[in-house]
C-alpha cells in the first residue's frame, strides 16, 4: 500500500503539470487564476510530503483533523523569511487568495516573471527533497511560460478600470516592482522579454523578413529610451547561478569538468563565453555602470540556448581559441 507522503507527491506532480497546461493553452482565458491555484496546490502537497518524510506532522496540534495551510508549510520548510524562493511563493499565494474575488488579465504581465521563477523552483526543490525529475514527464518547451506582453501604464490602468480595481492593481504592480529592485535572484523572478530588432546582418538574425512597398501595413523605425536599471539586473555571480539553475532544473546536458572535478558552469566558463562571443560589448546582454558590468536575463537565455545546441560547447570554444592563437 502506498504511503500517504507518496500519494501527496503524485498529486503534487499532477497539479504542477495541470498548471503548466492551463497557462500555456491559448484558448483558456482563466489561465492566471488557474495557474495560481494549481501551482500553489502543487507546492502545498510537495512540501507536506517532505514534512511527513522528515517525521513531522502536517496537522494543527489542537485540530487533529485539519492540516496546516500552504503558508504554514512554507514557514516550516523555508525558515528564512528573506529567502527569495519563500518571498516568491508568498506573493503567488496572495494572488491565489484574491483570485477568488476578481482578477483581471493585466495581472498576468505583473506576475509572469514570478510564475516563471516558481516553475523552475518547484522542479529544483522536488528533485532536491524527493528525487523526482519532472523533466522526464514533460517537454522542456512547456517549462517556459507563454506570456501576454501587453503591459498597461498606470494611466492606462486608471482609465480602464474602476478606481477601486485600478488602485488594487497599481499597488500590486508597484509592490512587485520594489521587490525586483531589491532582489536579483532568479529564485524570486525571471524577467520575460521579447525584443525584435531589424538588422542587415543575416548571421546575427533569428529569422528573415521581406520589405514590400505595396503592403497595406506601414511600419516606422522608432528609438526608445530605456532605463538600463530595468533590464540589466543581474550581477556576474547572478548569471552563473541562473545558468546553473536552468541546467539543473531543465536537465540540460552540459559537458565541462573544472579543475576540481565538478561538472558546473562557473566564472571561467562565463568569462570564456564573454570573450568568445564578445558579450560584454553587446548592449542586449551587458551594460557598464560606473566600471561595474551588469547583465540582462537575455544573456542567460543565450548561454542556455548555446549549451542546448552543443553540450561540448566549452571544449569546442577552447579548441577554436587555441587554433586562432596558433595562426597568429
Q: What are phi and psi of 60, to 5 degrees?
A: -70, 140
* pLDDT, tens only, 94-117: 988 887 666 666 788 888 889 999
DSSP letter at 133 equals: -
In eight-state DSSP terms, residue 67 is E
For residue 29 the three cell numbers come to 482565458
Instruction: Please determine, for residue 166, whether its predicted confidence score (pLDDT) is greater than 70.
Output: yes
| pLDDT for the residue numbered 158 | 80
Mean pLDDT for the stretch of residues 149-158: 71
Residues 6 or more apart in contact with residue 16 via CB below 8 angstroms:
38, 39, 42, 122, 134
Given this model, what pLDDT does residue 194 score?
46
Q: Per-residue confidence at 222, pLDDT binned at 50, 70, 90?
A: very low
Residue 44 has pLDDT above 70, yes or no: yes
Q: pLDDT digits over 173-190, tens only?
A: 788 777 777 777 788 877
pLDDT, averaged across the chain: 83
How many Å apart are CA 23 and CA 218, to the nearest integer? 33
Residue 240 clears pLDDT 50, i.e. is over it: yes
Provide CB contacts within 8 A for 294, sequence distance 6+: 228, 232, 233, 234, 235, 286, 287, 288
Query: Residue 80, SS3?
Result: coil
Does the pLDDT at position 300 exceed 50?
yes
Question: Using one digit for the tens of pLDDT, what is the confidence trace for 48-71?
Answer: 999 999 999 999 888 888 999 999
Of 177 and 274, which is predicted with more confidence? 274
Domains assigned to the chain? 4-136+151-182 (1.20.120), 227-327 (no CATH)
For the segment 70-87, what is each residue's pLDDT rounded down to a tens digit?
999 999 999 999 999 999
> Which pLDDT score, from 0 to 100, does residue 1 have?
59
CA distances from 65 to 57, 77, 253, 298 (A): 11, 21, 45, 48
The DSSP line for 301-320 is: HHHHHHHHH-TTHHHHHHHH
Q: Tell me if the pTM is above 0.75.
A: no
Instruction: Retrieve residue 70's grid coordinates.
Output: 500552504
Amino acid at each position: 500500500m502506498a504511503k500517504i507522503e507518496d500519494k501527496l507527491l503524485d498529486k503534487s506532480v499532477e497539479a504542477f503539470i495541470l498548471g503548466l497546461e492551463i497557462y500555456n493553452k491559448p484558448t483558456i482565458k482563466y489561465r492566471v487564476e488557474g495557474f495560481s491555484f494549481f501551482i500553489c496546490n502543487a507546492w502545498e502537497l510537495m512540501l507536506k510530503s517532505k514534512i511527513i518524510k522528515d517525521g513531522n506532522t502536517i496537522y494543527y496540534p489542537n485540530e487533529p483533523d485539519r492540516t496546516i495551510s500552504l503558508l504554514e508549510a512554507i514557514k516550516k520548510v523555508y525558515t528564512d523569511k528573506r529567502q527569495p524562493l519563500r518571498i516568491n511563493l508568498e506573493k503567488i499565494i496572495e494572488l491565489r487568495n484574491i483570485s477568488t474575488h476578481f482578477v483581471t488579465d493585466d495581472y498576468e504581465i505583473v506576475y509572469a516573471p514570478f510564475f516563471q521563477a516558481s516553475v523552475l523552483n518547484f522542479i529544483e526543490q522536488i528533485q532536491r527533497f524527493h528525487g523526482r525529475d519532472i523533466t522526464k514527464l514533460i517537454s522542456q518547451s512547456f517549462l517556459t511560460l507563454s506570456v501576454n506582453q501587453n503591459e498597461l501604464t498606470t494611466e492606462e490602468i486608471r482609465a480602464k478600470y474602476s478606481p477601486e480595481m485600478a488602485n488594487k492593481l497599481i499597488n500590486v504592480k508597484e509592490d512587485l516592482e520594489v521587490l525586483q529592485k531589491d532582489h536579483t535572484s532568479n529564485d524570486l523572478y525571471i524577467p520575460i522579454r521579447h525584443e525584435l530588432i531589424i538588422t542587415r546582418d543575416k548571421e546575427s538574425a533569428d529569422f528573415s523578413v521581406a520589405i514590400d512597398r505595396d503592403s497595406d501595413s506601414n511600419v516606422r523605425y522608432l528609438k526608445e529610451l530605456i532605463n538600463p536599471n530595468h533590464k540589466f539586473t543581474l550581477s556576474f555571480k547572478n548569471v552563473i547561478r541562473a545558468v546553473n539553475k536552468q541546467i539543473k532544473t531543465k536537465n540540460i546536458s552540459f559537458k565541462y569538468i573544472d579543475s576540481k572535478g565538478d561538472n558546473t558552469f562557473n566564472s571561467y566558463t562565463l568569462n570564456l563565453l564573454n570573450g568568445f562571443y564578445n558579450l560584454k560589448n553587446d548592449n542586449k546582454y551587458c551594460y557598464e555602470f560606473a566600471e561595474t558590468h551588469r547583465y540582462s536575463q537575455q544573456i542567460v537565455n543565450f548561454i542556455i540556448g548555446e549549451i542546448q545546441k552543443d553540450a561540448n560547447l566549452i571544449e569546442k570554444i577552447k579548441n577554436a581559441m587555441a587554433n586562432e592563437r596558433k595562426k597568429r
